[in-house]
Amino acid sequence: MDQITIDKRRMTIIVVVLFVFILLISIKLYDRNDQTEDIPETMAGLEEEIEVAPVREESKPSILYVDLKGAVVKPGVYKLDDGTRVLDVIQLAGGFQTNADQTKINLAARLTDEMVIYIPTIGEVLVDDNGLPTNEVDDGKININTATSGELESLPGIGAAKAASIITYREQNGPFKEIDALINVSGIGSKSFEQLKDKIKVH
């Protein structure tokens, strides 16, 4: 084999090696480019999946202004937080006076803005615009001087017609002074009164 043939073989081998080397480098560079292009897509997907938690604003309590009157040590207008009770404002006012009628007040009632609370004294009778009492203890009896037609109809033997007669009577003659006066109403006799006397009251 002559020298020329050997040189050709060497050149062919060198060319093949170089070609393979260049091919390998090209493949590696291509893979890196693919990975680089995938990164933004991956990050974009992560950004879509991550939800930013909303910042919670601490809610400030509502402010109430309550006008406290009557038999307390320091009556006046008090500023309180929402959710407080009648007992809370009375304590702020220094408590009850010695002659306060505490049985007429619901100490557990929740306060509302612009609320007026009046503490009566023992024996004091509060009246509404019609001159009728408003601060009586609920004993389950129907006050025939203040009862509505529906309340009167809840009594035994009293229908719509008799309830209307009771209301008409007190409007024309004034409030009943005794429960016995109910007999004077048209349609209500002694037997009807016997069924009613333990379930009614007047003030």
3 within some domain: yes
Domain enclosing residue 149, as ranges: 142-201
Each residue of 74-93: pLDDT tens digit? 999 999 998 889 999 999 99
Q: Is 111 found in the same domain as 157?
A: no
* Cβ atoms 116, 69 nearer than 8 A: yes
Q: What is the pTM of this model?
A: 0.39
Region 35-40: mean pLDDT is 50
Asked if residue 48 belongs to a domain, the reply is no
Tell me: do 146 and 197 sit in the same domain: yes
Residue 50 lies in a domain: no
Indicate if 146 and 196 belong to the same structural domain: yes
Model pLDDT for residues 115-127, shown as the tens digit of each residue: 888 898 888 776 5
Count of domains for the chain: 3
User: Does some domain include residue 51?
Assistant: no
Domain presence at residue 99: yes
Q: Would you state the pLDDT for residue 69? A: 92
Residue 136 in any domain: the answer is: no
